[in-house]
Copies of this chain bind each other. A is one copy, B any other.
Amino acid sequence: MKIERAGDTGTIDRRVARTRALLQDAIIALIPERGYAAITVDDICRKANVGRSTFYTHYTDKDALRSATLEAHLRSLSREQLSKEERTGSRVFDFSLPMFEHAQAFRSLHHALLASSGDTIHDQMRQRIQRAVRAELSGKRVGEAGVPIEFAVQFIAGAFLAVLAWWLPSDMKLSPAHVDELFQKMAGQAIGARG
């Protein structure tokens, strides 16, 4: 599978393509090693065998490189999806399977971009929520079984955090009780609780 890299629009000097590919590969290789936050531009350049000044002719930032790398891969993913005919069967969401498959194929990439984001805060908060969910879920048996408890924990905790983050800056048009009601409803249905 050929990965298109950021900036492939139109004809491009081979040197440019080469340099960008080297840099993108380098940052992906580096992130699992020491975590994104700890990486310096110099690290990337040494790994890629590219002059540091060259880096700045392509990307303004470490962030810019990361962003471009992610974008390129997501683009190639969408393209794959479009080429396949979508066989919507009993499934509800079509986007997820291709994503899981792509994640498996480009494991190190996804791992680099998702897991070790170096975001301590989110991790701290997330662990707290996960513990709470796990505690409540271990009592009730989950759904009609077949769903590993840890999967359900991740599912619910992730949903909760997303909802919370969405609700917070929204001027709180919904009351806490109302948001909670919505969350309870969807979460309860998700784990197959009898309402």
**Residues of chain A whose beta carbon lies under 8 Å from any beta carbon of chain B:** 36, 63, 66-67, 70-71, 74, 90-97, 99-101, 103-104, 107, 110-111, 113-115, 117, 119-122, 124-126, 128-129, 132-133, 136, 140, 143, 146-148, 150-152, 154-169, 172, 176-177, 179-180, 182-193, 195
Q: How far is the CA of A160 from the CA of B99 in the complex (A)?
A: 10
A93-B133, A159-B155 known; A113 and B103 CB under 8 Å?
Answer: no
How far apart are A135's CB and chain B's nearest CB, in angstroms? Answer: 8
What are 6 A-B contacts with C-beta separation under 8 Å?
A: A93-B132, A95-B132, A104-B172, A117-B121, A151-B166, A190-B190
| B186-A115 in contact (CB<8A) | no
Q: Which residue of chain B is the closest to A109 with respect to CB atoms?
A: B168
| A100-B162 in contact (CB<8A) | no
| A70-B125 in contact (CB<8A) | yes
| A120-B66 in contact (CB<8A) | yes
How far apart are A185's CB and chain B's nearest CB, in angstroms? Answer: 7
A70-B125, A158-B163 known; A97 and B176 CB under 8 Å?
Answer: yes
**CB-defined contacts of A191 to chain B, threshold 8 Å:** 92, 186, 189
A179-B100, A190-B190 known; A115 and B169 CB under 8 Å?
Answer: yes
**CB-defined contacts of A143 to chain B, threshold 8 Å:** 185-186, 189
Q: How far is the CA of A92 from the CA of B156 in the complex (A)?
A: 12
**CB-defined contacts of A155 to chain B, threshold 8 Å:** 159, 162-163, 183, 186
A101-B176, A122-B117, A176-B104 known; A136 and B70 CB under 8 Å?
Answer: no
**CB-defined contacts of A190 to chain B, threshold 8 Å:** 159, 186-187, 189-190
How far apart are A122's CB and chain B's nearest CB, in angstroms? Answer: 6
